[in-house]
Structure 1
Amino acid sequence: MNEPTIDSHGAEEAVARYQSQLETITAKSDALVAKDRLLGKFRVVLFLGAIVFWIVGYTSDGIAGAGWIGWLMLAAFFVVATMNEPIRDSIDELKRHRSVFERLIARLQRNWEALATKRLTHQLSLVELAGHRREVAGDLDLLGRASLFHLVSMAATTPGIRTLADWLSGPAVAEVAQERAEAVDALAPMREQRLRFYTLAREVGDSTGDPEHFTDWATGDTWLTHRGWLKAWAKASTVITILLILGLVLGSALSVPAVIFKASLVALIALIAINLLITTTVLGPAHGIFSIAMANRRMVGDYEEIFSAADWLPKSNASDASVLSRIRNQMVDGDRCAVEGMRSLQRVAKAGGLRQSAGTFLLYLPLQAFGLWDVWVLDRLEQWQSHYRDQVASWFAALGELEALVSIAALRDDYPGWGHATWHRDASTAVVKAKAIGHPLLKDGDRVRNDVQVGPPGTLLLVTGSNMSGKSTMLRSIGLNVALAGIGAPVCAGALETASVELATSIRVSDDVSQGVSFYMAELKRLKSVVDQARRMAQINDRVCLFLLDEILQGTNSRERQIAVVQVLRHLMDSRSIGAITTHDLELADEPELQSIATTVHFRETIRPDAEGNEQMTFDYQMREGVSPTTNALRLLEMVGLGK
């Protein structure tokens, strides 16, 4: 049953809305760019004009007053330059706005090339998954190019990207999924707030700070604590500097022996030399800490701003334990919340930023030379570290959760026709049952939907059919929608019932020549991993293993293959797992042991002659009961020109 309206109606409306907003942003940006160019021309004219008038005014036969006009034009140049800065900041912000809407549209149009940016691809490559989770992610396209991650994600910060990737590749647990779904439903109507958050996340994502390194520093040991002599010397050198400068003043202004002046000057030079030596030989690690804790003042300010964005989350009472309440408490509520912590760090960053700015570096030099300014800054930084040490990791965890949830909320808002998952708590009767389920990564107009049920434990779904008929797509549709349900997202189905499950798959398997592993052995190892996962789930007892196996054990002869497949399935059934297996080996469906536990369905092809009498093969991708009545391998061979 093909129901495109479930998909297309809300998505088309969302694309139109985003396109309209994108056009508005483009118009504003074009107007600001034109204004920026005009002011740029003014700056050039004023600067060149100032030079011309200086030449005319200050030459030997110069015109009276021309020099003053030059100075006035220079002053006007700085005024125009100052006016220009906010315009350029607004242009940059509009660029980020535009990138947000372009990504929202690309998701709905399944424009995978636009979605897989270099930065996001790099960030995903750094996500580490356990063995079976990595296999599932590869088999089902959970991460990587043209993946479920790219369909769902609006994340731009490292915590958001890694949190969403971890959720997608993790188990689907009823309690957790329902809590996330409630948060998503609350966030979905908040369009303006979410759009602002997406833009802020891009601004933070473009900053040079790495939150993981920041967290490692904040929760680690303090460097200066173990070097108390540096703090003592910084204080002493400050006092000595004051005394020596006083000696220089007295020596030059009063009738005191010249030796006092000379001694003070020599001592001051020696002090500078000692402090510069300490700076170059001892304080290298301190400067490394500065680069992590406050890479620049903008980074700290950006994080303060994005943490402050959580203020639009619903306020809660003390008994509220929802995920949004926990996030709000970590980010904006309380004396040790993320916003207060970043504001406090911002004050330290202003002091530490003297060495980073060309405008303040000349002030930093004497402060460092005479009083070891870096030590004073580091001392304040480590006081901050000691005060907030046990909170920092939870701040960024909350940020990652919020960014993942607002990403999912966009999917809920854009696809109002997609269903909510219904969860069953009893693992002994676990099923995955869907009405009108479809493959979420296919374009809305190309998707064909089917009803399907996998489970209860002790049974399996046997999907038969010819090549290219839709068997593998059905497996992935089941797995991807369970992954969506597990993160609290809407599912690409009219309705989906599921229990708490953890996926285990064998769909894409390849040999490894470098390790001397044949294709058949690679398949066996993957199947061993699936069975091991099923046994672990049987021991946990709060969820079941949902296995999805596609055309397994193709590397051996037909009879041995049938025996081996039955044996593998016996292990899985003994672990009380549920799952589906595809095959185009129709004899496998006749195995007595499989017939007793399997619900058999099939996909088929239709072959009709075209107007010229040539046979054309088509697929309707509709799942039907029973064993497939057709095969098409030889027909396909003929169609590509390799027949008799």
Structure 2
Amino acid sequence: MSTKKDFFQARAEKFQAEAVNLKSTAAITGWARVLSFVIVAVLVVYLINDRELMGAILTLLAYVPVFGFLVKKHNQQKHERDIQLQLTRLNQEEILRLERKLKELPDSSAYLDMDHSYAPDLDIFGRHALFQLINRNELQGSKDLLAKWLSQPANAEEIKARQEAVKELAPQTDWNQLLSAHSAEIKEKKKESLSISQHLDIIKRDTQVMDKGYWTTAKILLPLFALGIIIAISAFELDYRWIFLPVAINTLFLRAIFSPLLELTKEMPQLNRLLSSYEYALTAIEKQDFQSTLLLNLQSRISNGTQASASIAQLKVSLDFLTNRGNLIYGVLNSLFALDLLVLGRIKNWYTRHHQEVGQWLEVVEETSVLADMASFTFAEASYIFPQVKDIEGFEASEMKHPLLPADVAVANDFGLKGKGQLALITGSNMSGKSTFLRTLGVNLVLAQMGAPIAAQSLSFTPLHIFTSMRTQDNLEESVSSFYAEIRRIKQLLDQLSGEQTVLYLLDEILKGTNTKDRHAGAIALINQLTQSNCLGLISTHDVELAELSNDHMTNYSFNSQLENDEINFDYRLTDGPCKSFNASALMRQMGIIQE
């Protein structure tokens, strides 16, 4: 871990230094922009006072590209500084992940469905969860897709295709991190962020005013009329006050579209950030020389006739004009040449041409971003391996550890289970590692079935439908006891056994909420039913008498503890056969509950 930690620390320090330099450069450009504007403003006022209206207008028009260049340069420098800051943050967060300080990363509890077949028990979402270990991207669609992949196992072909893509991207740290850094620009602290599709709906609504035919004529005639007046003033010595006629006419026309424009411009800052992020991602995908089948297929979906990044850039340019409507230079030119009509017309035309393609472009960016996140995860966890998908009706793993535990803390175990009806009964003392082992197996299989690498030396597996029952709790609001919650959970498992896909169940301390006699009888009945069904799985229990069952499909394993000098020691190693040591009395003695 130290090597990777040093690698990410060095990158964080480099990007932080670059951000400081860019901040200074952007400040110089900003002052140059202000100074040039003041000089030109003084010159224009002087020319107008000297009745040199044409000279003032020509000066203003000549300054527009200069001012535009300075604004663009200043924004670009601030943008590059922000990217360097995001890269700094990303590398600092990689260190947190290596140290498994996942609670310091954004919470993913919003994705948690308490009725899901395994997510609540395996820490897939929450404050210290698998989602936080993998996710680096801020695009909502990418996060939603990652949550879907973590919640819905892929088939064998999808798993192999994702593995191939992730292996290709894993060494490309700069490419992956830049994708994540640009996605972070979309954050909106003051209000809920809208998706691209929601923004497009707003564009469709607020550009409908341009559907009327007379606006097409107006956006041509109004600028020509103003230009004619300017020429007449300059060439034929027409009184300069005639310039206020086109200004008055344009103002009246523009008032008709003022409300839609006002609504549209409210969303511009957020939409521009979102478009910038997608534009960068699309450009990066278009230019990359991919080799894996999945990445090539994704790339082809944004390059089939229309270059997606160029189209997004066209929309951004038009929207940038609206963003700068409050600018003095834009205001003067708008009053003379009705620029709002031209800009709205361009946005309307863009929507007509491309709105049906946008959904596919976004899907490509979002899926590629998830694969890039999985690749970053793969690069960071150098000891992880990609499992093999085989037709073995189960799995076989060696040196398997829990991915959410620090590498120097997690204990590795070998384990395999093959064949329908096979059941591993795990007995053990308190705190010996039974529950953690079940989660170790479950979390690694979730990773494997989404196409990611796992914390093991090897794993061969068949895609399985995972079902867990570990953290069942009572519910006072629904008047549900913990025992009833558990048997209701088990009923969900039994209902799923009739499906086509083989179920892997992980049941922890079954029927713990009832008396010993009923728990034992119920456990025997459940074991007999499971070993005759389309499933295989593990059951942990304190009920060591269950290990004496005569069942050809059941194999006994255990976790044991050693009591030395009133100290309880655990090795957290899975052992063949039933548990031979229990520590409940010793624990109660340590706590002073049992008096010698």
Query: Shorter-normalised TM-score: what interval?
Result: 0.7 to 0.9
Letter in 2 for 1:398: V
Contact 1:217 1:293 in 2 (8 A): no
Aligned to 1:349: 319
Aligned to 1:624: 575
Alignment pair present for 1:334 and 2:291: no
Letter in 1 for 2:414: D
Letter in 1 for 2:10: S
Quick one: distance in 1 between partners of 2:516 and 2:98? 43
Deviation at 1:125, TM superposition (A): 4.5
Quick one: distance in 2 between partners of 1:524 and 1:637? 29
Deviation at 1:576, TM superposition (A): 0.6
* Deviations 1:467-523, CA, capped at 9 Å, x for gaps: 100000011001110011122221111111110112111111111111222212211
Contact 1:509 1:519 in 2 (8 A): yes
Paired residues for 1:131-210 under 5 Å: 132-133=115-116, 136-204=118-186
Q: 1:550 to 1:172 in 2, by over 3 A?
A: farther
Aligned to 1:100: 90
Could you tell me which runs of 5 or more consecutive residues in structure 2 were left unpaired when the two chains were aligned: 40-68
Aligned to 2:505: 547
Quick one: distance in 2 between partners of 1:16 and 1:220? 47
Q: 1:455 to 1:558 in 2, by over 3 A?
A: farther
Aligned to 2:406: 443
Paired residues for 1:581-596 under 5 Å: 581-592=539-550, 595-596=551-552
Letter in 2 for 1:22: A
Paired residues for 1:298-317 under 5 Å: 298-311=273-286, 313-315=288-290
Contact 1:466 1:584 in 2 (8 A): yes
Aligned to 2:472: 509
Deviation at 1:225, TM superposition (A): 8.5
Quick one: distance in 1 between partners of 2:467 and 2:306? 41
Paired residues for 1:116-131 under 5 Å: 116-117=105-106, 121=107, 124-127=108-111
Contact 2:426 2:538 in 1 (8 A): yes
Deviation at 1:272, TM superposition (A): 4.4
Contact 2:505 2:538 in 1 (8 A): yes
Q: 1:521 to 1:364 in 2, by over 3 A?
A: farther
Q: 1:220 to 1:422 in 2, by over 3 A?
A: farther
Aligned to 2:296: 325
Q: 1:28 to 1:314 in 2, by over 3 A?
A: closer
Contact 2:568 2:583 in 1 (8 A): no
SS in 2 for 1:436: strand
* Deviations 1:522-557, CA, capped at 9 Å, x for gaps: 11222222223333xx2xx3x322111111222211
Letter in 1 for 2:9: Q
Aligned to 1:279: 258
Aligned to 1:452: 415
Quick one: distance in 2 between partners of 1:156 and 1:191? 17
Aligned to 1:58: none
Contact 1:157 1:205 in 2 (8 A): no
Aligned to 1:422: 388
Letter in 2 for 1:314: D
Alignment pair present for 1:366 and 2:335: yes
Quick one: distance in 1 between partners of 2:211 and 2:466? 57
Alignment counterpart, residue 18 of structure 1, candidates 5, 8, 21: 8
Quick one: distance in 1 between partners of 2:341 and 2:478? 53
Quick one: distance in 2 between partners of 1:29 and 1:343? 25
Q: 1:243 to 1:112 in 2, by over 3 A?
A: closer
Contact 1:608 1:617 in 2 (8 A): yes
Deviation at 1:141, TM superposition (A): 0.7
SS in 1 for 2:557: strand
Letter in 2 for 1:16: D
Deviation at 1:441, TM superposition (A): 0.9
Letter in 2 for 1:358: N
Quick one: distance in 1 between partners of 2:451 and 2:230? 72
Aligned to 1:394: 360
Quick one: distance in 1 between partners of 2:18 and 2:264? 41
Q: 1:126 to 1:227 in 2, by over 3 A?
A: farther
Q: 1:231 to 1:391 in 2, by over 3 A?
A: same
Quick one: distance in 1 between partners of 2:324 and 2:73? 25
Deviation at 1:102, TM superposition (A): 0.5
Deviation at 1:601, TM superposition (A): 0.3
Deviation at 1:415, TM superposition (A): 3.0
* Deviations 1:263-314, CA, capped at 9 Å, x for gaps: x99998688457526534xx3xx65456558745454333212221124533
RMSD across aligned positions (CA): 4.1
Quick one: distance in 1 between partners of 2:25 and 2:202? 46
Deviation at 1:226, TM superposition (A): 6.7
Letter in 2 for 1:622: R
Higher mean C-alpha displacement, 287-296 vs 182-191 = 287-296
Q: 1:232 to 1:641 in 2, by over 3 A?
A: farther
Letter in 2 for 1:583: T
Quick one: distance in 1 between partners of 2:211 and 2:380? 61
Quick one: distance in 1 between partners of 2:513 and 2:189? 50
Letter in 2 for 1:300: L
Deviation at 1:88, TM superposition (A): 5.4
Quick one: distance in 2 between partners of 1:573 and 1:221? 59
Letter in 1 for 2:118: V
Higher mean C-alpha displacement, 140-149 vs 524-533 = 524-533
Letter in 2 for 1:329: S
Quick one: distance in 2 between partners of 1:147 and 1:186? 26
